[in-house]
Structure 1
Amino acid sequence: MARPSLEVADILNRHGEAYLARHRLSRGQLKVMGAIRACRTAALGGHVMACGDCDHAAIAYNSCRNRHCPRCQGAAAKDWLADRQADLLPVPYYHLVFTLPASIAAVAYQNKAEVYGLLFRAAAETLATIASDPRHLGARIGFTSVLHTWGSAMTHHPHLHIIAPGGGLSPDGARWISCRSGFFLPVRVLSRLFRRLFLEGLAALHAAGRLAFQGNLADLTEADAFASMLAPLRRADWVVYAKRPFGGPEAVLAYLARYTHRVAIANSRIIAVDRHRVTFRWKDYRARSTGKGRRKTMTLTAHEFIRRFLLHVLPDGFHRIRHYGLLASSRRADTIVRIRQIIAATTPDDIARDDVPVAAAQPEQASEPHPPCPCCGGRMILVERFAPGTAPRTILAVRIDTS
């Protein structure tokens, strides 16, 4: 696949040094900038592939594999999705979104590990508690949560996307309890419990001295000021959104492919870059119109573009994809097998055949590790690996592949 004509790496290469001269960055932000700028260049080394049937050869530079790099996440998502196919169940799946209020988002930015972690815990406890209530579902559920910290314009907008099967196991583990058709759990009830659990957790973090405040938030170090900031949030409506169920297992995988390894902006959205500005496509979700009416372009100074992109660098070691309940990693495989057996035993054969998940289909043939020769279709052979910062020794008419 041909690389986009413009990339985040191009913007960082053109304007990164000037930005660094004027701004103080964290170690994590510096690491991300360096990785993206070096990705698939000689700085990371690479290898030479040559065709065994003709004289064609190509240099392929190594990827940085940084999780914030727009170039690298496509391949990472593909590998991750291959593993997730085995987890799919023959039931409807639901998509929920838990969003933090804007005033909390400012606190979250200065305390990413603590507040983002609390967001995961509060949302997970909310779903598990309401689902286990006999008045709603009365079952133990499982789900996957994915953290996004951006809006379409790359502003700081932390929220969780959650994918959950439409049902769960009975308390004794003997039955599968399906949710009502087209309805998972009541969002108003979820919203209120989520608000209470999150604010209680945030107050506990503050009382334990685990939150830091800088700049215009410095006053929140004081307990009274922090309590005053939280007070109106206890009465506000918090956004918990539940979408319609997916059309089937294939739709679940297609959604996950778009969301799990997404970064703040895809290279394909960048339209133009000049000496001072960057123009990109974005969606205005507040616009009343839908479809094309929401699709707009935005032009920022290059430095503002870089600032917004770096807002979303996560702390080292922080997991932005997490599995809970029945899908928790420790015993997920055994649990999935047991649930499938329970569902199969209680589902008519004609319905079961219509709802077989993607994982039950015959696996596709594994693709070759290297593409065929673009000139003659022959087999490309690895002839040399070269270290970062060095050039290949092989003397051939080579093509450089940065796709």
Structure 2
Amino acid sequence: MSRPALEVADIFRDHGPAWRKAHAGHVSLHQLKVMSAIERCRTAALGGHVARCEDCAYTTIAYNSCRNRHCPKCQGAAAKEWLADRAAELLPVPYYHVVFTLPAAIADIAYQNKTVLYDLLFKVSAETMLTIAADPKHLGARIGITSVLHTWGSALTHHPHVHMIVPGGGISLDNKRWISCRPGFLLPVRVLSRLFRRVFLEKLVAAHQAGRLSFFGDYAHLAEAQSFAAYLTPLRKAEWVVYAKRPFGGPEAVLAYLSRYTHRVAIANSRLIACDQRGVTFKWKDYRIEGRDRYKQMTLGTFEFIRRFLIHVLPRGFHRIRHYGLFAKGACADNIARARELLAVAKPQDEPTAAAIDPSKPSCPCCGGRMIVIEVFARGATSRYQPTGPQSVIRIDTS
């Protein structure tokens, strides 16, 4: 894949040192490590290997990736491996896309309490779906959920929300039959929204009472119980956004969707347009507008662009993809097998996937011959060989 004209790594390399100096003492060690990883990704700093075509001697140099989950270049390969596992779990039923979004006032608290609030968003949204689906008044079944956390809006603002992929039905509570949802309708959004709001606020108050939340700056006063209760009062009557889209066209469409969402980072290199004296210009989508007019360009000061990118660095060890209900890891295989049995469909035959193809051994771009690794060099070292013509570097970008 050809390299984009501008990458996040270029911005970090050119402006990162000055930004770090200006914000010394106000940047977490984890954020600094993410910056360093992105700057060094696919460069000699991480080492690499030289490959030569055994037929025409065409030579290329490929540098190692940083493998950081926030790097725009490293998520494509990770997504392919993850998707290969998910393909075997797909059921021959419609799949729905459901989105749970935190209100702005809660998102402000989440900004200062990422681990606790993001975890609550995952758990409460899943609990909401499982509870309403199990209610005989709605579906009366156990459903499966794959949830993906996104913390950004298209303009890189802090906008925490969970994307869910949910099969259009589930296994009956007595485990004896598959219950399909009504065509084009999974669960009532208004009911989901009300339960999501109530349970989330209950658990948020409990977290506050347990001393699990921290507040600083303009929100320091929320550490006091009465102030916190007053802050939450308007949210008890406000509408909380839960959005259910139309079902996908089929299993292939589900996988295509997952490939776009599961390993996405705050901004893809393909959205960057320019970095100059005015700042960083990039493409963004205004979801408040319908049609082609929603696609726009935005320019942020370079330091502000870096700040916005880094606010989406997840807490260390935090899982951004989670599975619930039928897809919960412990019993997923058994549940999928039972669902297939109830749906009277056989397990899909194993097929070659992208993950089964070794991306480190591409064919020769010159003659199509087999490329053989002739040298591996360590971090910071340089190769003894020169590439043939323009250097060919493996680049993977998320979109």
Classify the TM-score, shorter chain: over 0.9
Match of 1:20, SS? helix
Correspondence 1:191 to 2:181: no
Q: What CA distance in whole angstroms lies between the structure 1 residues aligned with 2:263 and 2:353?
A: 23
Match of 1:250, SS? helix
| Contact 2:59 2:386 (8 Å CA) reproduced | no
- For 1:401, the equivalent position in structure 2 comes to 393
- For 2:8, the equivalent position in structure 1 comes to 8
- For 1:93, the equivalent position in structure 2 comes to 95
| Contact 2:364 2:370 (8 Å CA) reproduced | yes
Correspondence 1:201 to 2:200: no
- For 1:390, the equivalent position in structure 2 comes to 381
- For 1:131, the equivalent position in structure 2 comes to 133
Q: What CA distance in whole angstroms lies between the structure 2 residues aligned with 1:394 and 1:298?
A: 42
- For 2:38, the equivalent position in structure 1 comes to 36
Whichever residue aligns with residue 306 of structure 1, its letter is I
* 1:54-65 paired onto structure 2 within 5 Å: 54-65=56-67
- For 1:335, the equivalent position in structure 2 comes to 335
Correspondence 1:303 to 2:265: no
Whichever residue aligns with residue 383 of structure 2, its letter is P
* 1:4-403 paired onto structure 2 within 5 Å: 4-23=4-23, 24-287=26-289, 290-344=290-344, 359-360=348-349, 362-363=351-352, 366-369=356-359, 370-394=361-385, 399-403=391-395
Q: What CA distance in whole angstroms lies between the structure 1 residues aligned with 2:373 and 2:180?
A: 52
- For 1:349, the equivalent position in structure 2 comes to none
Q: What CA distance in whole angstroms lies between the structure 1 residues aligned with 2:375 and 2:144?
A: 47
Q: Give TM-score scaled by structure 2 length.
A: 0.94
Q: What CA distance in whole angstroms lies between the structure 2 residues aligned with 1:212 and 1:368?
A: 46
Q: What CA distance in whole angstroms lies between the structure 1 residues aligned with 2:280 and 2:386?
A: 39
Q: Deviations over 1:182-236 (max 9, x none)?
A: 1000010100000011001110111000101111111111111111101110111
Q: Give TM-score scaled by structure 1 length.
A: 0.93
Q: Deviations over 1:336-367 (max 9, x none)?
A: 112111101xxxxxxx7xxx99x557445943
| Contact 2:30 2:316 (8 Å CA) reproduced | yes
Q: What CA distance in whole angstroms lies between the structure 2 residues aligned with 1:320 and 1:55?
A: 43
Q: What CA distance in whole angstroms lies between the structure 1 residues aligned with 2:69 and 2:247?
A: 29
Q: What CA distance in whole angstroms lies between the structure 2 residues aligned with 1:396 and 1:229?
A: 61
Q: Deviations over 1:115-164 (max 9, x none)?
A: 00001111011111111111000111111000000000000000000110
Q: Deviations over 1:78-133 (max 9, x none)?
A: 11111100010010101100000001101101110000000111101111111111
Alpha-carbon RMSD across the aligned residues, in angstroms, is 1.6
Stretch moving more, 335-344 or 91-100 = 335-344
Deviation, structure 1 residue 396: 6.7
Whichever residue aligns with residue 388 of structure 1, its letter is R
Q: What CA distance in whole angstroms lies between the structure 2 residues aligned with 1:375 and 1:263?
A: 33
Stretch moving more, 324-333 or 152-161 = 324-333
Match of 1:67, SS? coil
Stretch moving more, 391-400 or 232-241 = 391-400
Match of 2:185, SS? coil
Q: What CA distance in whole angstroms lies between the structure 2 residues aligned with 1:286 and 1:32?
A: 32
Q: What CA distance in whole angstroms lies between the structure 2 residues aligned with 1:316 and 1:106?
A: 20
Deviation, structure 1 residue 376: 2.2
Q: What CA distance in whole angstroms lies between the structure 2 residues aligned with 1:55 and 1:286?
A: 54
Q: What CA distance in whole angstroms lies between the structure 1 residues aligned with 2:171 and 2:200?
A: 26
Task: Give the fraction of aligned pairs with identical amino acids, expressed as a percent.
Answer: 66
Deviation, structure 1 residue 379: 1.1
Match of 1:75, SS? helix
Match of 1:168, SS? strand
Q: What CA distance in whole angstroms lies between the structure 1 residues aligned with 2:74 and 2:193?
A: 35
Whichever residue aligns with residue 342 of structure 1, its letter is L
Structure-2 change in CA distance of 1:380 and 1:259 (3 Å) = same
Whichever residue aligns with residue 134 of structure 1, its letter is P
- For 1:347, the equivalent position in structure 2 comes to none
Match of 1:251, SS? helix
Stretch moving more, 330-339 or 83-92 = 330-339
Match of 1:87, SS? coil
Stretches of structure 1 that go unaligned for 5 or more consecutive residues are 345-351
Q: What CA distance in whole angstroms lies between the structure 2 residues aligned with 1:21 and 1:246?
A: 48
Whichever residue aligns with residue 308 of structure 1, its letter is R
Q: What CA distance in whole angstroms lies between the structure 1 residues aligned with 2:218 and 2:161?
A: 23
Deviation, structure 1 residue 59: 1.0
Q: What CA distance in whole angstroms lies between the structure 2 residues aligned with 1:191 and 1:38?
A: 43
Deviation, structure 1 residue 392: 2.1
Q: Deviations over 1:283-325 (max 9, x none)?
A: 11112xx231100000111111111111100001000000001
Q: What CA distance in whole angstroms lies between the structure 1 residues aligned with 2:327 and 2:140?
A: 17
Stretches of structure 2 that go unaligned for 5 or more consecutive residues are none
Q: What CA distance in whole angstroms lies between the structure 2 residues aligned with 1:402 and 1:34?
A: 20
